[in-house]
Structure 1
Amino acid sequence: MPARPGQHPVPPLPGRSGPSPAEARPAVDSSTEVYRTVQASGAFQEIRHSYRAFVFPVSGAFLGWYLMYVAAQAAAPGVMRSQIAGPVNVAWLLGLLQFATTFVLTWLYARNARTKRDRAALGLRWDTQDQLR
């Protein structure tokens, strides 16, 4: 019975032929080495850095904006009930701005990916595929 991933192969019973434990161990796949080389490359690290340089600050800013909305609702309910126009109050306006912010950040992320990372990642992908052939 072959070993499942993460399990050691069962040695054959005495007197029966079969692979030795050293032969039963899977060899390191050449594709694994290609991907490890790509991961260690400067181009891949630059793509990761570009991704993180955009995503972490923007995610932090959006989380702060959301928590400010929740804190304002809890700390100053009178201000949040202040009417702006007709039935629209400050809470409704800030809540709708949360949705608008989500769409703007999605657009900014897509634009950032398209202009800064996609071309480099595609080039890296083609190089990797060439190495695997």
Structure 2
Amino acid sequence: MEDDAVRERDARAYEAVHEAADFTELKRRYKNFVVPWTITFMVWYLAYVACNNWARDFMSTRVVGHINIALIFGLLQFVSTFVIAFLYGRFANRKLDPLASGLNAKYKRERRR
């Protein structure tokens, strides 16, 4: 019986948070960051794969010594991943975390009712 009451209280608290304007704003901000960067990274990655498959002469062009364009592009894949992760961390700290903290506090208040 007590478990049902706890579940019902938690469900009400979740509903209150889900209906909050801040929750909608949090989702909007998240999607506005994640979707463009995901598309950008996927295009960059697929261009790398396509060049490795169909532009072998270009990719095998030596830049310095035994370092060719394919190696540089491969390393840039790692660099771009870390850059996007850094940008997301900075974005989340400034734009997402304040809203999420407020929603978390609202959830905790609603659970106590």
CA RMSD of superposed structures (Å): 1.5
Aligned position for 1:108: 87
Aligned position for 2:111: 132
Structure 2 alignment gaps of length 5 or more: none
Matches of residues 14-29 of structure 1 in structure 2 within 5 Å?
29=8
* Aligned with 1:76 (options 32, 52, 55): 55
Tell me the amino acid that sits aligned with residue 108 of structure 2.
Answer: Q
The runs of 4+ residues in structure 1 deviating greater than 3 Å are: none
Q: Please identify which structure carries the higher helix content.
A: 2
Number of residue equivalences: 109
Structure 1 alignment gaps of length 5 or more: 1-25
Spell out, residue by residue over 1:49-90, the C-alpha distance to the aligned partner (whole angstroms, 9 max, x if none): 100100011011001000000001111101100000011000
Relative contact order higher in (CA < 8 Å, ≥ 6 apart): 2
Q: Give distance in 2, aligned partners of 1:103 and 1:93.
A: 15
**With structure 2 as the length reference, what TM-score do the two structures score?**
0.91
Matches of residues 1-133 of structure 1 in structure 2 within 5 Å?
29-133=8-112
Spell out, residue by residue over 1:97-120, the C-alpha distance to the aligned partner (whole angstroms, 9 max, x if none): 000001100000000000001011
Identity of aligned residues (%): 36
**With structure 1 as the length reference, what TM-score do the two structures score?**
0.77
